[in-house]
Structure 1
Amino acid sequence: MAKALIGYVGGPTSDQLRESARLRRRVADLETEVLRLKIENEGLLRTLAQRVDEVDELLEPVAH
């Protein structure tokens, strides 16, 4: 009986397999994009910190 039920229920259809593969590719693409944006954001934060330091150095003589 169990074999009959498993045979009846079957596995995923070819459409389901294609959709699953498409979704896995999309998730991988999005993970890559998130990593790229994190790296870009870190670079922007470093640049901002450098510019803030430069402005602070320019303002130091005025503060004294």
Structure 2
Amino acid sequence: MAKAILGHVGGPDPRMVAEMRRLQRRVRDLEAELVRLQAENDALSVDQDDVLTLRAKDREPALT
């Protein structure tokens, strides 16, 4: 009865298995890209903090 409800007769559908594998690969690719972008963002954030610190140190006092 359960096989009839799920539509599986004779084992898993090869198209379904292929689609699951494709989706799993896509998820892994997206996770890897997320890690790469987070690392790049962190590096840019550190660089930006260094630039702001240097600008504050190099400022000349305002004339009064």
Larger RCO (CA under 8 A, 6+ residues apart): 2
> What is the root-mean-square deviation in Å for CA atoms of aligned residues?
1.7
For residues 13-60 of structure 1, the C-alpha deviation after alignment (integer angstroms, 9 at most, x for no partner) is 10010000000000000000000000000000000000000000011x
TM-score when scaled to structure 2? 0.80
Q: Distance in 2 between matches of 1:15 and 1:53?
A: 57
Aligned length: 59
What SS does the corresponding residue of 2:61 show, helix, strand or coil?
Answer: helix
Q: Distance in 2 between matches of 1:56 and 1:24?
A: 48
Matches within 5 A, 1:30-49: 30-49=30-49
Q: Distance in 1 between matches of 2:3 and 2:41?
A: 52
Q: Larger helix proportion, structure 1 or 2? A: 1
Query: Any gaps of 5 or more consecutive residues in structure 1?
Result: none
Give the CA deviation at 1:12: 3.5
Query: Any gaps of 5 or more consecutive residues in structure 2?
Result: none
Corresponding position of 2:21:
21
Runs of 4+ in structure 1 deviating by more than 6 angstroms, as ranges, are: none
